[in-house]
Amino acid sequence: MNKFVLKLYIAGSTPHSQRVADHFHRFCEHELPNQCEYSIVDVLEHPEVAEQDGVLATPALVRWFPPPARRIIGDFCNPYRVLDELRLWPAR
């Protein structure tokens, strides 16, 4: 089975960025257990990655695989919204 490939882009180590990263970890563990590979990019530390990936605002979550890439910017607190907008519904 191919796994979803997700990348979260945050800006710095602010309380807000940390909260978003924590939500993202929980989301991956609870909603997509063993179904995704994910990474977090701090765009302040790695602006070249954000530029290369076309990320202009944070927080941003991108599903890179399977193509085509899909993005969501802003609040990731509602897991159903994230699953729906990124089309991450797990295989049944």
Residue-range domains of the chain with CATH = 4-85 (3.40.30.10)
pLDDT at 92: 47
Query: Which 3 state secondary structure label does DSSP give 31?
Result: helix
pLDDT, tens digit, 9 for 90 and up, residues 27-53: 999 999 999 999 999 999 999 999 999
pLDDT at 74: 87
Residue 67, preceding bond cis, omega within 30 degrees?
A: no
Q: Which residues contact 73 (CB under 8 A, 6 or more apart)?
A: 57, 58, 59, 60, 61
